[in-house]
Chain A
Amino acid sequence: MKYTLIFLTLFSCLFLSAQEDDLLSEIDTDSLGYNYATAAFKGLKIVNIESTKLVAEKEMTLIVSHRFGSIENGFDSFFGLDDAVTRLNFVYGVTDAINIGVSRSSFQKIYETSFKYRLVRQKENGFPFTIVGFNSILVNTALEKENLPKLEFKDRLGYTVQLLISKKVSTKLSLELAPTFFHDNFVAYDEQHNSQYAIGFGGRQKLGKRWSINVDYGWHLNRADNSPFKNPLSIGFDLETGGHVFQMHFSNAQAMNTNGFLGQATGDWSDGNIYFGFNLSRVF
């Protein structure tokens, strides 16, 4: 019941800000014109966490992501090349402010559909933040009935509700805050509550015309004691090359879906157990 209430509050907030957006934009068309802050982030993701960028109307973006295995095993697995997981993610822009996406990740064979919608845009002399909502539903198809005899389909499902609040502080620096609620109907670690809360932090600092350094961190708020999972910290570079955005990074999370990297990151920066990875996005 508690969670129902939290949910309702959260969504009422969304509802209110959506209205505010409509009103504000109506005023502005008559008087000032648009002075929106553009391109706070170049990629649809900062590293792991979704950014406030959306795909433009009627455009399709394919994001191919890889996370190699741990680099700590060195040449034995060629710094993780042998143990890579992959995610293919198609995102389509229904409008400039509404995106839908489908993806398949080889990490636990997860299918995911996502829904990303912009509520408010940052404006010069106007609203100081861009706020985007992100929801997704995940299906973990790697759970096996042979191993878990009482498995039902609903146990495979997971959900994400996330607010992405970004601010382009200057032409070079953008920051993001991402309060997140996510729920996995099945958790492998018995002590872990299925409903989980996290706050994501992210930032992008431009270093040159075509490249920038990106960092994001997920702070899990109700992780069980002695859980084998860690908070994900990722550091990477964005490189823009024409129609591609190429993001290379190191992260201690191998999973690429929101529930995965926030809830099930297993690496550890302090002992060098981190993963190299990249996201490659291509617009069609």
Chain B
Amino acid sequence: MKKTTILYTLLISTLFCCSYSSEDDLTEDIIIEDFVNYEDNIKSIIDNNCINCHSNPPINGAPMSLITYNDVKNAVENRGLISRVSSTDAAFGMPFGGPRLPQNLIDLVILWEQEGLIEN
């Protein structure tokens, strides 16, 4: 009898906690005034997601730091930053260990590159 009590408790708790969100539901539209620039748009993404390991000096096996504008610019131009953050392969993608960044942030970085990696 005890077994069934536990089962039904689990069942009930499961039913009441289910919700249905996906990435689109949890992100907000980003409004860019003219061009994407590092200071206003990109730095916060890097600071929130990358500099835990890509600090100066880098830790946890990260090969370079992403603290300054020049660090990030160099990583985009020479180290495939965009291919790493947009990869869906868990072992190749960054941030390491996942989850992948929301698509709107990845798109913003791609747009930043297309517009010429403007600093501010």
Seen from chain A, the residues whose Cβ lies within 8 Å of a Cβ on chain B are: 3-4, 7-8, 11, 14-15, 18, 68-70, 73, 80, 82-83, 85, 98, 106-109, 115, 117, 133, 135, 140, 142-144, 146-151, 154-155, 157, 159, 161, 183, 185-190, 192-195, 228, 254-255, 264, 266-267, 273, 275
Contacts and interface: CB of A to CB of B under 8 A. Distances in A.
B101 interface: yes
B11 A190 contact: no
Contact of A80 (B14, B23, B91): B91
B49 to A, nearest CB: 7
B99 A154 contact: no
A196 B112 CA distance: 36
A175 B10 CA distance: 28
Contacts of B99: 108, 140, 142-143, 188
A147 B91 contact: no
15 contacts: A108-B98, A108-B99, A117-B3, A142-B97, A142-B98, A147-B48, A148-B26, A148-B27, A150-B25, A187-B21, A195-B18, A254-B90, A266-B91, A267-B89, A275-B91
Contacts of A161: 14
Contacts, number: 128
A194 B20 contact: yes
Contact of B48 (A73, A146, A273): A146
Contacts of B20: 185, 193-195
Interface of B: 3-4, 6-8, 10-11, 14-15, 17-28, 44-45, 48-49, 61, 88-92, 96-102, 105
A161 B14 CA distance: 10
Nearest to B92: A70
A97 B98 CA distance: 35
A219 B27 CA distance: 31
Given A15-B4, A83-B96, A185-B20, A254 B14 contact: no
Nearest to A155: B21
A154 B20 CA distance: 10
Given A142-B97, A147-B45, A159-B17, 16 more contacts: A7-B11, A7-B15, A69-B92, A82-B61, A83-B91, A98-B3, A107-B98, A108-B97, A146-B49, A148-B27, A155-B19, A159-B14, A185-B18, A188-B23, A194-B21, A254-B90
B49 A147 contact: yes
B3 A188 contact: no
B22 A192 contact: yes
A186 B22 contact: yes
Contacts of A148: 23, 26-27, 102
A98 B5 CA distance: 14
Contact of B28 (A140, A150, A185, A186): A150
9 pairs of A and B residues whose beta carbons are closest in the complex: A69-B91, A228-B88, A146-B48, A148-B26, A70-B91, A150-B26, A190-B22, A194-B20, A254-B90
Contacts of A83: 91-92, 96
Contact of A70 (B19, B89, B97, B101): B89
Given A11-B7, A106-B97, A187-B22, A144 B14 contact: no
A81 to B, nearest CB: 10
A135 B22 contact: no
A114 B8 CA distance: 15
Contacts of B61: 82
B28 A149 contact: yes
B21 A149 contact: no
